[in-house]
């Protein structure tokens, strides 16, 4: 099992080992954005290594710190997960997103039209967190914010909202 590789941080890894674990951190239902973010980090760290896919690379102090944090964040990915959604009677989706120079993320919550925005959010229905690709890191911050918002809305757009009693979608961003 690839999970054995990360039970305890080893002094060295191959690119292939970290990419295999990264591949297991998929999040098709977008319930665990931290997993996908950690997969991006593992790929970024090991992608910088020279040498072939199966060449052992001794971790630097910085890489050890980074992978140690990643390891602590993905422990629950090894277990089976079940997520149940209770019928709350809430009639709108609240989409919150933000982007920075390093990455972006968004969350989608069920909320009531009459609720105060700050109290509307409980557990997110689905969410995403990603690192920017190298070329995207040079985008203007407004373009990054727009990308984040559009991706979230495209994900919401795939849902049949009326069938579930959702009357509106509210997008919150710190951009103007």
Q: Whole domain around residue 60: which residue ranges?
A: 2-78
**Cα–chain center distance at 162:** 27
Phi then psi dihedrals of residue 161, to 5 deg: -65, -45
Average pLDDT per run of 10 along the chain, which is 176 residues long?
73 93 77 82 93 95 93 74 62 90 91 57 78 93 94 84 81 82
Inter-helix orientation angle 61-73/33-47, to 10°: 160
User: Contact, 124 vs 109, CB < 8 A?
Assistant: yes
149 shares a domain with 119: yes
The domain boundary, picked from 47, 78, 109, lies at 78
pTM of the model: 0.61
In a domain, residue 134? The reply is yes
In a domain, residue 87? The reply is no
Number of separate domains in the chain = 2
What integer pLDDT is reported at residue 117 of this predicted model? Answer: 53
What integer pLDDT is reported at residue 119 of this predicted model? Answer: 45
Q: 110 by DSSP, 3-state: which?
A: strand
159 shares a domain with 118: yes
In a domain, residue 84? The reply is no
The domain boundary, picked from 78, 100, 131, lies at 78
105 shares a domain with 167: yes
């Amino acid at each position: 099992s690839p999970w054995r590789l990360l039970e305890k941080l080893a002094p060295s890894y191959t690119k292939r080992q970290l990419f295999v674990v990264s591949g297991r951190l998929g999040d098709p239902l977008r319930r665990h954005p931290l997993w996908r973010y950690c997969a991006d980090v593992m790929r970024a760290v090991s992608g910088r290594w020279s040498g072939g896919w199966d060449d052992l690379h001794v971790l630097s102090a910085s890489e050890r710190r980074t992978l140690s944090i990643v390891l602590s964040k993905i422990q629950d990915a090894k277990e089976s997960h079940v997520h149940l959604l209770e019928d709350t009677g809430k009639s709108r989706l609240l989409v919150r997103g933000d982007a920075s120079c390093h990455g972006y993320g968004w969350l989608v919550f069920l909320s009531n039209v009459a609720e105060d925005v700050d109290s509307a959010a409980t557990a997110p229905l689905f969410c995403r967190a990603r690192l920017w690709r190298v070329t995207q890191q040079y985008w203007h911050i407004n373009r990054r914010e727009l990308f984040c918002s559009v991706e979230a809305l495209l994900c919401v757009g795939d849902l049949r909202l009326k069938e579930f009693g959702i009357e509106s979608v509210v997008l919150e961003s710190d951009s103007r």
